[in-house]
Amino acid sequence: MLKSILSGQSCAKCRLCCVFDIYDIWETPVFTDEIRERISAVKPDAEFVPKDGGWIFKTGELTAEQLFNCPALTENGCMLGDDKPFDCRIWPYRIMEVGGRRAITIASICEELYNRPLSQLVGLLKDGLAETIFCYADEHPEIVKPYCEGYPVLLFEK
Ligand code: SF4
């Protein structure tokens, strides 16, 4: 979904968004029933908990030093390929509720995109990505996260 500005090679080298620590464990992706079943078929040990009609991984309590690797992450990248969850397909864009309104923010941990000109980041949203994200969130409100400080707001819903 971000292929026009984010290359697959950059993501393959990084994978930071597939590994979570105590500070961003709330960021683990939300899965549909179908994707959850697909992961379970390959990784039967992966545990899930319901989230507003979708599913997230059961991660348990992490200590400050612990990391949680997404069970869908393999040596060759995400086992879900192009069928990865919507959350992951729009990363590092996030949809959050900010003061009662939905907005699209960006995660600073993705250095590859975070350091791009604002015009490019917002431009992609205005070129149709924002509409795609808001429409998906209408059907899947579970992907809307509460606002988290440190995530610059790029665009509010009209
Ligand atoms: S589902 Fe795939 S892309 Fe998303 S966090 Fe897990 S490994 Fe990464």
pLDDT value at 35 more than 90: yes
Could you tell me the two tokens for 107? 């995660």
Q: Are strands 68-69 and 19-20 parallel, antiparallel or unpaired?
A: antiparallel
d(CA 100, CA 3): 31
Per-residue pLDDT tens over the stretch 128-157:
999 999 999 999 998 999 999 999 999 999
Say yes or no: CB of residue 39 within 6 Å of ligand 1. Answer: no
Map residue 62 onto helix, strand or coil.
coil
Q: CA 145 from chain center: how many Å?
A: 10
Which of the residue ranges 5-14, 22-31, 88-97, 113-122 would you say has the lowest mean pLDDT? Answer: 5-14
Ligand 1 mean position, distance from CA 154 (Å): 23
Whether ligand 1 lies within 6 angstroms of the CB of 78 is answered as yes
Pocket test for ligand 1, best of 24, 30, 73, 87 (most atoms within 8 A of CB): 73
CB 106 within 8 A of CB 152: yes
Q: How much is the pLDDT for 129?
A: 97
Q: Is 55 exposed, middle or buried (0-12, 13-18, 19+ CB in 10 A)?
A: buried
Q: Where are the domains of the chain?
A: 8-156
**Mean predicted confidence (pLDDT) in 86-92:** 94
